[in-house]
C-alpha cells in the first residue's frame, strides 16, 4: 500500500475552545501474526482530546482495514496506529488501546499514548 496515512481524513474541531474527549472503538480489527501468519483479532479503542481537528470516523474504519493482510506483532501494530493517527490529526493527547483475543491461552492488552504541548 502506498501510504496508509493518506486514508485518514480529519474534520474541523467544532469546539476548539473546550477540551473534550472523543473515543472510537471497533471489535473488527484484524491482521496476521508474523510467526504463524494466522489471523489475529482485536478490539481497538482510540481516545483523544482534539486540538484543531477530529478524526473522521469512516476514514478511521478504512484505515484500520488496511492492516488486514499484513503481518504485525501486537506492540508494533498498536504503536503504528497511534503514530499514524496522531500525525494526521495532531491532537492534544491521544491513546490507542488494543485488546487482543486470547492466543495460546494468553490474553494481551497493549496501550500506547502521546501528549502534545
- For 69-84, the pLDDT digits (tens) are 999 999 999 999 999 9
The CATH number fitting domain 4-115, selected from 3.40.50.300, 3.30.1130.10, 3.40.50.280, 2.60.40.1080: 3.30.1130.10
Q: How far is the C-alpha of 96 from the C-alpha of 47, rounded, in Å?
A: 6
Reported pTM: 0.94
Cα 35 to Cα 5, 50, 73, 86, 110, distances in angstroms: 26, 37, 9, 29, 19
* C-alpha distance from residue 106 to each of 34, 44, 45, 63, 114 (Å): 17, 18, 20, 27, 27
Q: For the segment 3-55, what is each residue's pLDDT rounded down to a tens digit?
A: 899 999 999 999 999 999 999 999 999 999 999 999 999 999 999 999 999 99
Q: Locate 5 and state its grid cell.
A: 496515512
| For residues 87-105, average pLDDT | 95
pLDDT of residue 1: 47
Q: Is 103 helix (H, G, I), strand (E, B) or coil?
A: strand
Distance between CA atoms of residues 107 and 116, nearest Å: 31
Per the CB < 8 A criterion, the answer to whether 109 and 100 are in contact is: yes
Residue of 52, 46, 32 lying closest to 85 (CA atoms): 46
Amino acid at each position: 500500500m502506498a501510504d496508509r496515512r493518506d486514508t485518514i481524513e480529519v474534520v474541523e474541531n467544532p469546539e476548539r475552545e473546550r477540551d473534550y474527549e472523543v473515543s472510537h472503538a471497533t471489535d473488527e480489527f484484524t491482521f496476521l501474526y508474523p510467526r504463524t501468519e494466522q489471523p489475529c483479532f482485536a478490539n481497538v479503542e482510540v481516545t483523544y482530546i482534539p486540538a484543531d481537528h477530529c478524526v473522521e470516523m469512516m476514514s478511521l474504519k478504512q484505515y484500520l482495514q488496511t492492516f488486514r493482510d499484513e503481518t504485525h506483532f501486537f506492540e508494533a501494530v498498536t504503536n503504528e496506529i497511534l503514530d499514524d493517527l496522531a500525525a494526521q490529526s495532531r491532537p492534544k493527547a491521544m491513546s490507542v488501546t488494543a485488546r487482543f483475543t486470547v492466543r495460546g491461552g494468553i490474553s494481551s492488552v497493549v496501550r500506547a499514548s502521546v501528549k502534545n504541548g
